[in-house]
Amino acid sequence: MTTANPTEASAGPTSEDASSGPAARARLLPGVPPALLIGVAAAVVLAVMPLLLDEFRLGLLTRYLCYAIVAVGIAVAWGRGGMLTLGHGVFFGLGAYAMAAHMTLAATPDGALPEFMVWNGIESLPLLWRPFQSLAFTLAAVVVLPGAIAALLGWAVFRRRVRGAYFAILNQALAAAFAILLIGQQHLTGGSSGLTNLPVLAGVDLSTGAARTGLYFTVAGFLLAVWAAYTRLMDSRYGALLVAVRDSEERVRFLGYDPTWVKASAYTLSAVAAGIAGALFVPATGIITPALVGVIPSIQLVLMAALGGRHSLTGAAIGAVALGTAETAFSESFAGGWLYLQGALFVVVIALAPRGLAGFAESLASRVSPVRRSR
């Protein structure tokens, strides 16, 4: 590519990431890392939400928080690693379908077959479905399945130095193939109507109010845990190496590191977050269909991270909740208008605010305390 530019993935000067640089540490409370403050504040906000929202709204928030987990992963791969993943719906879908398979079997009486299989003329439980009778296997699959596929794909393409737009296109092709596969293998996946009617998980009836609230806290807890773990990792030497690979892969290679494993591992971590989110999404919403995991939903996940701020894990999570809220609010009043607004949002965010909501917050913060920002 003749116009290749080492900082293509990042918008503007990002040699020092505002949320992780040492200068950013001297904030409100000296000695307390800002990440800890954000985490505590987020935990408090998430904890009071059930008191403020009715059951329907809380259900919607649970759903947005699932997407927020994916967005945190996308911020790691795209914002920090420069890998634009247009196929995270695949990893989300793998986690979701694994969980949905287990819950479908749990809802089916012993010895009987899930209803959609009966309609498709299946006579005994397919081999692929059998292990999902075990909850332990399912929980492992939720992490291992997306992780293994991402690791394999990442290793295969990064070791041959396929990157940038090529990588993005391959991801999108993967998402397209995955959705077509899900629709086509109707006897295994329920086809385009997906897997629905999933009332029980681990013996708990999910339709009760208490279960819905419990589910909300589970999802919120996972979001905080994934966010905390990945934020910590990004603050470590590994995180610095990842940003270095994003900004100048060749220089990192000359310094003696192997960018292949740095990128492949970040991509894998990102996929695992999406898988976990998918597995939480299914009990939270009671449905998974190919329309939730294909090309368009995958790219919507990227928009969430872009809106919140691709470089900021916190921003990406907030972006997911903001986009979900906006979509619901807007679709309730003007049905067809949302797609226009979403398209326009893409153009506006990328063109005018490539650092997203987090970028606004950072420039606001730097204006309030002029001592800090040295660059």
Partner 1 sequence: MDALLTQVPIAAAVGAVLLLAALGLNFTFGQMGVINMAHGEFLMVGAYTAFALQAWAGLGGAAVLVALPVAFAVTALMGLALERGLIRHFYGRPLDTLLLTFGVSLLLQQLARDVFGAPNVDVAAPSWLAGGTSVLGVWLHHSRLFIILLAAVAVAAIALSIARSRSGRYMRAVLHDRDLAAVSGIPVGRVDAATFAVGSGLAGVAGVALALIGPIGPSIGSSYIVDAFLVVVVGGLGQLRGAVIAAFALGALNAYSELWTGASLAKVVVFAVIIAFLQARPQGLFSVKTRALA
- Residues in the site for partner 1, rule: CB under 8 A? 1-6, 8-9, 11, 84, 153, 156-157, 160-162, 164-166, 168-170, 172-174, 176-178, 180-181, 183-185, 249-250, 295-296, 299, 302-303, 306, 336, 339-340, 342-347, 350-351, 354
Q: Around Cβ 190, how many Cβ atoms within 10 Å?
A: 27
DSSP secondary structure, 226-241, as one string = HHHHHHHHHHSHHHHH
The nearer residue to partner 1, 178 or 227, going by C-beta atoms, is 178
The nearer residue to partner 1, 214 or 343, going by C-beta atoms, is 343
Q: Rounded to the nearest whole angstrom, what is the least distance from the CB of residue 296 to partner 1 in the complex?
A: 8
Cβ pair 323, 273 in contact under 8 A: no
Whole-Å CA distances, 111 to 107, 125, 284: 12, 9, 27
User: What Rg do the C-alpha atoms of the chain give, in angstroms?
Assistant: 21
Cβ pair 20, 239 in contact under 8 A: yes
Strand partners, 195: 288
Q: Rounded to the nearest whole angstrom, what is the least distance from the CB of residue 118 to partner 1 in the complex?
A: 21
Among all chains, which residue has been given the structure tokens 């971590």?
Answer: 269
Q: Rounded to the nearest whole angstrom, what is the least distance from the CB of residue 40 to partner 1 in the complex?
A: 33
DSSP category for residue 76: I
Distance, CA of 270 to CA of 147 (rounded, Å): 8
The nearer residue to partner 1, 68 or 174, going by C-beta atoms, is 174
Q: Rounded to the nearest whole angstrom, what is the least distance from the CB of residue 247 to partner 1 in the complex?
A: 11
The nearer residue to partner 1, 161 or 232, going by C-beta atoms, is 161
Q: Rounded to the nearest whole angstrom, what is the least distance from the CB of residue 163 to partner 1 in the complex?
A: 8
10 Å CB burial of residue 48 (0-12, 13-18, 19+) is exposed
Distance, CA of 202 to CA of 344 (rounded, Å): 43
The nearer residue to partner 1, 119 or 166, going by C-beta atoms, is 166
The nearer residue to partner 1, 5 or 124, going by C-beta atoms, is 5
Strand partners, 200: 205
Q: Rounded to the nearest whole angstrom, what is the least distance from the CB of residue 2 to partner 1 in the complex?
A: 6
